[in-house]
Structure 1
Amino acid sequence: MHLPPPLTIFKLATTLTLLLTLQPIPIHTLPLCKTSCGTIPINYPFALEDGCGAPQFRNMFNCTFNELFFQTPSGPYKVQSIDYNKKTMVLYDPSMSTCSILQPHHEFIMTDIQSAIIPPSQDTVFVLLNCSIDSPVLNHYKYLCFNFEGHTCDELYGGCNAFRVFHLMTNSSPPCCFTNYNTMKFMSMNILDCTHYTSVFNSDKLKGVGPLDWVYGIKLSFSVPDIGCESCKQSGGTCGFDTDTEGLLCLCSGFNNSTRECGAAGFEGMISEGLNNAPWTRHLLVLLLVVSLHTVMWLL
């Protein structure tokens, strides 16, 4: 087999290298990710813009008139607060029944991804109200109902103005069920055969507290994987991801001149996109090409 002389191969490698490295380098002057919505701070892993935050929480939030909403299949829920230290988020559904107001039939539904990565917390209790005697949770699945700090259905129907109507309609207390989100996840309100629901959180602190003083709403819990975002933040960057591949990125603003200024030290395994940064694939291609051709030359 006839191979070209080493000098020709070297000239070819040099030419290809120059052609690759001298191509116009795209400028990645990235807008800064929004850090708040009204009074609620927006930090990793959450974000409002696509490409910011963690990809698993992509498109779950929006900010409307300075109010933050969490998007679910059953509709948007207003975010009341986020505690990044405790990794919890509190939602309030204005169409949910509470001790003071009875709302039309409504369900709380999350996607499978949402229920896996930001599920309702262990101290959030869902209360199924005005259930029929044929309800699955009163028969075959009665183990799904549990004792809620000693509270009873009679206490709810008698102590809450909104729920007293159920007591008045039958001159008795219709069954109710204190349960967790998984019950509602796998069985709709129609299957459960209960007309309404409410939810409270911080349930471990409600022993001996009447329903008028319960904290109504839904608390969600989330986790933040340790992927080096703290190092990215300390270097002046913001954690994000590639919107096409969902590969993790250390996003640098246009004020940084190179990866040496953002996302460099201690941020291994993640890509930094700064101003005048050539794509990492181009540099890798050049490196592989040069190494391969030098190997051929050495074999000759």
Structure 2
Amino acid sequence: MDSFTSFLCLCSIIFQSISLIEAQASLCRTTCGDIPINYPFGIDDGCGSPYYRHMLVCSNLGNLYLRTPSGRYPVHSISYSDPHILVTDPLMWNCRDGDHFRPTRPFSLDTSTPFTLSSQNDYLFFNCSEDYVIVEPKPVFCERFPDRCDSSCDSASYLCRHLPECADALSASSCCSYYPKATESLRLMLRYCASYTSVYWKTIGSTTNSPYSQVPEYGIRVDFDVPVTTRCLQCQDPSKGSGTCGFDTQTHNFLCLCKEGNVTSYCKGHDISKHKRAGVIAGTVTGISAAGAIGIGIGIWVLKKVRAKAPVTCGVQSNENRVF
């Protein structure tokens, strides 16, 4: 009876491993909540471009996050026509805070990735110490000290005088606008300022030449590049099978992910069975059956080694039921 129970425990572990490989047979998810996930991004490993691997995370509740060296940030939207991601930082100042400032953190990006902070962002800093920060109205200050213009924080900023959505939120606090050229500059500013927030200029309508075609909104705009390759275009081509662009999770080499398996070119007209791989997105039944056969073989070998009267505690190892 003990040997039979050991066999059941072992079979349970084997079937869990097989189920894991089966889960990899599903194609890449194309949404997280109501946000579309298209190339070059992927929320399943092996999907999209390897340059953006593990950058986006979709929670069990359907919330999308961008991972950066400074933390995880909720993604508000993704635009693929004008490639950018809009993220928010819950620790940044917002209208509800008013003159009360909470501890915050400097936002940063990994410079080795194809992400860049958009020039359409403006940063507002609050209650900065004038002993360490040059807080001056820029037009006048820059005329007098042109060599120090870039290092000044503009107290005459339009956004400070017209805070988006809450123009009168600040009653006893100072505000100035400054664009940090590097993460270290942002850290230094936050060392001498109570808090900060980011405002991006959102394009409205289709008339980009109009001076009134942009409105300020809170958030951080992060621009990204779309690495377009001939193989990816062929893979996505409906006449060639409408595959999904992906990559081998071990080598990062390009793969076209098809319903029947993976190929290195495009889905239609290729013998996909020759390119099936286990352990990569869109894995195959062949990989599953092989894993099952190996697992059962190991199970039989282990059962021969287990002592017949050894107590069984499935998943718990003691000196009495230790196999190795």
Normalising to structure 2: TM-score of the pair? 0.59
Distance 1:148-1:215 versus aligned 2 partners, 3 A rule: farther
Q: What code does the residue aligned with 2:111 have?
A: I
Are 2:47 and 2:246, in contact at CA under 8 Å, matched by a contact in 1?
yes
Query: Which residues in structure 2 correspond to 1:251-266 (within 5 Å)?
Result: 251-254=257-260, 262=267
Residue of structure 2 aligned with 1:131, choices 128, 139, 143: 128
Q: Does 1:47 align with 2:45?
A: no
Tell me how far 1:33 sits from its aligned partner. Answer: 0.5
Aligned mates of 2:271, 2:200 — CA distance in 1: 41
Tell me how far 1:225 sits from its aligned partner. Answer: 1.6
Tell me how far 1:34 sits from its aligned partner. Answer: 0.6
Residue of structure 1 aligned with 2:72, choices 56, 69, 76: 76
Partner of 2:111 in structure 1? 113
Distance 1:248-1:136 versus aligned 2 partners, 3 A rule: farther
Q: Does 1:196 align with 2:198?
A: no
Aligned mates of 2:62, 2:265 — CA distance in 1: 36
Report Cα offsets for 1:52-95 as digits up to 9, x if no partner. 11111111111121111111232221111111111111112222
Identity among equivalent pairs (%): 31
* Unpaired segments ≥5 residues, structure 1: 1-26, 167-173, 265-271, 280-300
3-state DSSP class of the match of 1:56?
Answer: helix
Residue of structure 2 aligned with 1:221, choices 223, 230, 235: 223
Distance 1:263-1:110 versus aligned 2 partners, 3 A rule: farther
Tell me the C-alpha RMSD between the 2 structures.
3.8
Aligned mates of 1:148, 1:134 — CA distance in 2: 15
Are 2:117 and 2:222, in contact at CA under 8 Å, matched by a contact in 1?
yes
Report Cα offsets for 1:169-227 as digits up to 9, x if no partner. xxxxx4623315x3445441566511111111117889899xxx841111111111221
Partner of 2:102 in structure 1? 104
3-state DSSP class of the match of 2:116?
Answer: coil
Are 1:147 and 1:178, in contact at CA under 8 Å, matched by a contact in 2?
yes
Are 2:161 and 2:167, in contact at CA under 8 Å, matched by a contact in 1?
no
Distance 1:138-1:239 versus aligned 2 partners, 3 A rule: same
Aligned mates of 1:142, 1:263 — CA distance in 2: 60
Normalising to structure 1: TM-score of the pair? 0.63
Query: Which residues in structure 2 correspond to 1:228-247 (within 5 Å)?
Result: 228=230, 229-234=232-237, 235-247=241-253
Aligned mates of 1:260, 1:208 — CA distance in 2: 46
Aligned mates of 1:128, 1:145 — CA distance in 2: 12
Aligned mates of 2:271, 2:31 — CA distance in 1: 23
Aligned mates of 2:271, 2:87 — CA distance in 1: 34
Distance 1:207-1:129 versus aligned 2 partners, 3 A rule: farther
Q: What code does the residue aligned with 2:199 have?
A: V
Tell me how far 1:144 sits from its aligned partner. Answer: 4.0
3-state DSSP class of the match of 1:197?
Answer: strand
Instruction: Pick which of 98-107 and 141-150 moved more.
Output: 141-150
Q: Does 1:249 align with 2:255?
A: yes
Distance 1:63-1:208 versus aligned 2 partners, 3 A rule: same
Distance 1:69-1:122 versus aligned 2 partners, 3 A rule: same
3-state DSSP class of the match of 1:231?
Answer: helix
3-state DSSP class of the match of 1:85?
Answer: coil
Distance 1:154-1:105 versus aligned 2 partners, 3 A rule: same
Q: What code does the residue aligned with 2:258 have?
A: C
Q: What code does the residue aligned with 1:83 have?
A: S
Aligned mates of 1:68, 1:152 — CA distance in 2: 29
Are 1:88 and 1:219, in contact at CA under 8 Å, matched by a contact in 2?
yes
Aligned mates of 2:85, 2:203 — CA distance in 1: 17
Q: Number of residue pairs matched?
A: 231
* Unpaired segments ≥5 residues, structure 2: 1-21, 137-146, 205-209, 278-324
Distance 1:101-1:259 versus aligned 2 partners, 3 A rule: same
